[in-house]
Structure 1
């Protein structure tokens, strides 16, 4: 029996790759038992793992170390310490052979507890620029996998491996007809998918709210707002608002979408790459998302919109331009597909399985 702890949360970006890796490990080693350690709020990780009955969920206290002055830096230290002791006893009880994280603050106390108990820690660096959580776990990690060649220079070369970013096999099984039936879509009208990541994007939602009456004149819209981030009650047969979709439902919507508007979390960018979807990307300013988006834009794989405040009219103009220009969408589709990493899950799973140790 192989036992592996997965850990992430707070955003969907730190959860999606872990689920993709878990599916691949389960495929090759079906006897594997998984435990997912997430945040106490469980948003969105608890919702995301519901469709994986072989993954159990447990929460711990966690905090965030901010790179600026905040009184919460002091109070969060106590939460992190509490999370460390919780992790210590969880590991003693579950007896895992590995702990795997894709970068999240909830994983930091768990990783250090695992290291003290001599359990191998593995981290995956999704974004081009390493986050603080992965930096805090890097020194105690057995192996580090990265999505981009550029990220190799951020970690010790003797234990860092270029793999690409994992994507769930469920995303590849989308059924266009299911989406058309579910949302009563018209097959002869272009479909626009708008999403803001696992927790939604309030700024994108607000910008879309301003231009919905214009959007529905030339396309039909499926809008994933994020949990409890719905917008006004605009009713039109071409506009469909939903808070959250599991991977199977999202796969169906991807299959029918002609264009996608999204943030620049690498989980979303990876899915768009694998599925060859033309996209308008709006990164969160002053974050790792900007670095991701710049990289993709440099490859001419996306249309990038930047700025502290989203210009709704500029967004409307870009959407209309791309929806009406099949050749431009086809070129974006070709370019973004060149950045896909289909084998990433297999590569990371192999790294983990080859380096795990037995717990007596």
Structure 2
């Protein structure tokens, strides 16, 4: 009997894990056994074990790919080498039909090991330009899927396909009533959701809280502030509900939400687009990233889906002004989003992955 196992990999941020989380049950419906290779200490370890405790998780050694000087740059190649050996041993033991990589530094040794073992390697790139990890992994890939059409100019066209965005099906099944119950809002104000990524953003958190009195005259606020960033002084506020990070609650909170403030990670902004939530995007600056979120945000702005506030321009005053402008143009943004191409489902993405398996 043929081995119908697919290994998934990807990590470092929630964005490198969420698509994998979404397609696991869909691959299982297609008759595949799923196993996961991730790092020992990355966020993927926690997220995968929590959302899919039934699947086997293999933790390997992994270095971090840095664009700045650090003494760890001299030791991390040895960690990557150890991770390559570990991944190769896992792959030879499991004998998967394919490896699907969502990116992040842990995926590089896995892609390399997949090529060495003769297993088809499939990469998914969700940003306009490939990240450093995917750039290193692409030579070992058999096929690359992209979200943006513009990405096709940055990857080998002969082995690449633009699939468009993929949205988790559970996001469509949220309940605004359940979201309101979670937040204990007891009025009919519009709801503004603010999120700064899985680790939170001190700048965004500060801008929200400095403007809280003025914002709550018009909005109920859902604030996803990141781990360790809860302000206990604001607990119990009738129009302000703060969470460190949410998983199963997110569909309900999004269905309750009218306007969103967010970083500009590809997965998140396409989910807002699918749910037609007007968004103010505050991308990570080039000082803190390779600039991929800036490209994502400006592309959405050019298509009329979002407003953009550069992080360098962010302060309490500019934040409040940007929210007021977003609210004033809410209907225009929603109209533009209704014209967008609909996203693929996780099941459709799983079938594309399965089509490239041995």
Whether these two folds match at TM > 0.5 is yes
Whether 1:16 aligns to 2:34 is no
Sort the Cα spacing of 1:26 and 1:342 in 2 relative to 1 into closer, same or farther, 3 A: farther
Determine if contact 1:9/1:39 at 8 Å carries over to the other structure.
yes
Indicate the RMSD between aligned Cα atoms, in angstroms: 1.9
Q: Residue 317 of structure 1: CA displacement?
A: 2.0
Using the alignment, how far apart are the partners of 1:205 and 1:55 within structure 2? 36
In structure 2, the residue corresponding to 1:69 is in which secondary structure? coil
Q: Residue 153 of structure 1: CA displacement?
A: 1.4
Determine if contact 2:280/2:326 at 8 Å carries over to the other structure.
no
- Corresponding residue for 1:354? 355
Q: Residue 355 of structure 1: CA displacement?
A: 1.8
Determine if contact 1:179/1:252 at 8 Å carries over to the other structure.
yes
Q: Which moved more, 1:206-215 or 1:159-168?
A: 206-215
1:308 counterpart (294, 309, 312): 312
Determine if contact 2:11/2:43 at 8 Å carries over to the other structure.
yes
- Count of residue correspondences: 351
Determine if contact 1:259/1:277 at 8 Å carries over to the other structure.
yes
- Corresponding residue for 1:240? 241
List, as ranges, runs of 4+ consecutive aligned residues in structure 1 with deviation greater than 6 Å.
none
Using the alignment, how far apart are the partners of 2:57 and 2:332 within structure 1? 42
- Corresponding residue for 2:300? 296
**1:243-322 matches, cutoff 5 A:** 243-246=244-247, 248-286=248-286, 287-308=291-312, 310-322=314-326
Which structure 1 residue ranges, 5 or more long, are not aligned?
Answer: none
Using the alignment, how far apart are the partners of 1:133 and 1:113 within structure 2? 14
Using the alignment, how far apart are the partners of 2:32 and 2:169 within structure 1? 18
1:134-183 Cα distance to aligned partner (Å, 9 max, x none):
11111111110001111111111111001012211111111111111121
Sort the Cα spacing of 1:41 and 1:81 in 2 relative to 1 into closer, same or farther, 3 A: same
**1:1-360 matches, cutoff 5 A:** 2-27=4-29, 29=30, 31-43=31-43, 46-47=46-47, 50-231=50-231, 233-235=233-235, 236-246=237-247, 248-286=248-286, 287-308=291-312, 310-323=314-327, 325=328, 328-343=329-344, 345-357=346-358
In structure 2, the residue corresponding to 1:109 is in which secondary structure? helix
Which structure 2 residue ranges, 5 or more long, are not aligned?
Answer: none
Using the alignment, how far apart are the partners of 2:76 and 2:334 within structure 1? 43
Q: Residue 208 of structure 1: CA displacement?
A: 1.6
Sort the Cα spacing of 1:191 and 1:49 in 2 relative to 1 into closer, same or farther, 3 A: farther
1:40-86 Cα distance to aligned partner (Å, 9 max, x none):
22325523552334433232221123233332211211111111112
Using the alignment, how far apart are the partners of 2:281 and 2:137 within structure 1? 30
TM, length-normalised to structure 2: 0.92
In structure 1, the residue corresponding to 2:6 is in which secondary structure? strand
TM, length-normalised to structure 1: 0.91
Using the alignment, how far apart are the partners of 2:79 and 2:140 within structure 1? 21
